[in-house]
Amino acid sequence: MVGEPNPGEPLEPPGSGKLTGANSSPAVLAAVTDRDPAVRAGEAAAAAAVAASDSGPADIPLTDLTAAAFFDVDNTMMIGASIFHFARGLAARKFFTTADLAGFAWQQLKFRVGGRETSYTTTTGRETALSFVAGRPVAEITELGEEIYDELMADRIWAGTRALAQMHVDAGQRVWLVTATPLELALIIARRLGLTGALGTVAESVDGYYTGRLVGEILHGPAKAHAVRALAVSEGLNLRRCTAYSDSVNDVPMLSAVGTAVAVNPDSGLRDVAKERGWQIRDFRTGRKAAKIGVPSVLGAGAIAGAVAAGIAHRKR
């Protein structure tokens, strides 16, 4: 049944992978340079997730090692977009102005609704995404992420979705977040929720400082599916026994990659797909609350990340 884990026999402990983003060696990064950006983003996210999970919560008993759950973050696990909340926190700390933030979101909304091309959709746009942290220490951004989570995100977690994640944890399964949000922030959210880890957008760093470039592209759409498949190979997962949760039609590739797909707080596109394919639908929104988060759902995680990051990079240039 959808959403009900089926524990199996334990296997050998999962293997480990090399981190191909922050803190990775130039040689490892060069090895994935010639790959399709979405594939590179997925593989980098999976490798980073494996490396980070080695230091994840030690008190989670794992008894079902071939099944796992994958949760989108924005509007699925959290009300609104995590990268937008993070950007708000950075604006409060004078990284940039709130007017910049509003302008970036508005430009991206016009593109997403009106279909007009922007620089974000080009190769150059992808390469400049998240460049607002270029030259800053990874440790500094991680520390700020901890503070901003407490200030702006902790109270925005959907109780219903968190309960679904806990159901998998209680069944002895691993649970990963899968999000366009930068890896470091995604890991903070996962740790605070007591989950195994996170697959997130991997930003390149050298000697502990961000270069302002991504490994591949933002973890969005097909890239999420590549990340889930790569993680499954590394961890010995049977994807037919895995479950994925999302609110967005953009995540249909990820939802289709697993045996059980659940639409959580779905946008209209995903609701139609879920009904057509017989996927379970869970909606924790009611009335005005559903309307209030409609715009972030239209924007999408990757869109907001690109709008904020590319816009800031443009302003600095």
Burial of residue 135 (CB within 10 Å: 0-12, 13-18, 19+) is: exposed
For residue 182, list its beta bridge partners: 201
Both structure tokens of 140: 């500094």
Mean pLDDT of 132-144: 85
Statement: residue 159 has pLDDT above 50: yes
Q: What is the dihedral angle through the alpha carbons of 68, 249, 81, 305, rounded to the nearest 10 degrees?
A: 100
The pLDDT tens digits for 79-136 are: 988 888 887 888 888 776 666 666 656 654 544 444 333 334 333 334 434 556 778 8
Question: Residue 232: is its pLDDT beyond 80?
Answer: yes
Concerning whether 64 is annotated as a catalytic residue, the answer is no
- In this predicted structure, what is the pLDDT of residue 103? 61
pLDDT at 97: 63
Q: Which of 64, 72, 247, 267 is catalytic?
A: 72
Per-residue pLDDT of 191-200, as tens digits, reads 999 999 999 9
Among residues 34, 36, 74, 251, the one annotated as catalytic is 74
Is 74 in the active site?
yes
pLDDT at position 80 = 86
- Stretch among 146-160, 169-183, 288-302 having the lowest mean pLDDT: 288-302
pLDDT above 60: residue 264: yes
Give the domains, in start order, of the chain with CATH numbers. Answer: 26-316 (3.40.50.1000)
**Strand, coil or helix: 61:** coil
Helix boundaries (H) for 98-151: 98-114, 123-128, 138-148
DSSP state of 248: -
